[in-house]
Amino acid sequence: MRDPRQIIADNVARVNDQIAAAATKVGRQPSDIKLVAVSKYVDAATAGLLLNAGCQDLGESRPQELWAKAAAAELAGASWHLVGRLQRNKVRRTLPMVKLIHSVDSERLIAEIDEQAETLELQPRVLLEVNCSGESAKQGLTAEDIRRLLPVLPQYPRVRVAGLMTMAALEGGAETAHKNFAALRELRDSLNREAPPGVELSELSMGMSGDFEAAIAEGATIVRIGSMLFEGLPR
């Protein structure tokens, strides 16, 4: 049986190569795309192999799991990204641990983040999660929701809204994914023309194992990749 350490190192190298190839193909710099390795499928020891393989930025979709892994000795030194839903009662505990929250989807949540950030003396960076696919099961804001939200952001001065995040439709394959990702880029660009002073949306967090090449072609600055990094591990 192959050594898990080697399997993960090979997978990380392969993902990085494919990110670089997808960037080069559309005339982008590979260094302009950040890989967030989503460790939600594995325990802290296995996630530690990602860190050894050079993945510094790790993502979790559940706050409790993020708390546990952020406290694990094997994962000291990782930078944490919350990519799944954040309930308001978990904001206070989560804020000190995270580099970026990808999944902010309401003004009430922004208000809570701002309030807690004040007492914690933090200035958290967040992304607004957008439902680009129109699938009703998906969480996320609509373009109209964000247009209503932008003018009130200055009321929450501790929260630094750095960009947008989305997930492509489950169905529809590469063509639909391209459309969803292009829609997020176009939304970001048009919002930046309307944004109040001090608000600039630069990041686009989009693309997972099955569709990151399409996302990079459409301008992703952050890709969130999980399952591809664990292929070949014994279960």
Residue 226 binds ligand PLP, judged by CB under 6 A: yes
Instruction: Give dist(CA 115, CA 132) in Å, integer.
Output: 29
Build a one-symbol-per-residue string for 104-123: x at contacts with ligand PLP by CB under 6 A, - elsewhere.
--------------------
Residues 156-215 that bind ligand PLP (CB under 6 A): 167, 208-210
* CB distance 177 to 214 below 8 Å: yes
Residues 19-38 that bind ligand PLP (CB under 6 A): 38
**Closest CB to ligand PLP: residue number:** 226
What b/e sequence results for 114-149 when a residue is b if at least 16 CB atoms lie within 10 Å of its CB, and e otherwise? bbbbeeeeeebbbbbbbbbbeeeebebbeeebbeeb
Residue 221 binds ligand PLP, judged by CB under 6 A: no
Q: Which residue among 84, 140, 163, 219 contacts ligand PLP (CB under 6 A)?
A: 84
Residue 223 binds ligand PLP, judged by CB under 6 A: no
Instruction: Find, among 201, 195, 199, 207, the residue nearest to 168 by Cα.
Output: 207
Give the DSSP letter string of 21-47. HHHHHTT--GGGSEEEEE-TTS-HHHH
State the minimum distance, in angstroms, from the CB of residue 61 to ligand PLP.
4
State the minimum distance, in angstroms, from the CB of residue 24 to ligand PLP.
21
Cβ proximity to ligand PLP, 9 vs 228, nearer residue: 228
Any residues with CB less than 8 A from the CB of 1 and at least 6 apart, and which? 234
Residue 219 binds ligand PLP, judged by CB under 6 A: no
Cβ proximity to ligand PLP, 156 vs 217, nearer residue: 217
Which residues form the interface with ligand PLP (CB under 6 A)?
Answer: 38, 40, 61, 83-84, 167, 208-210, 224-228
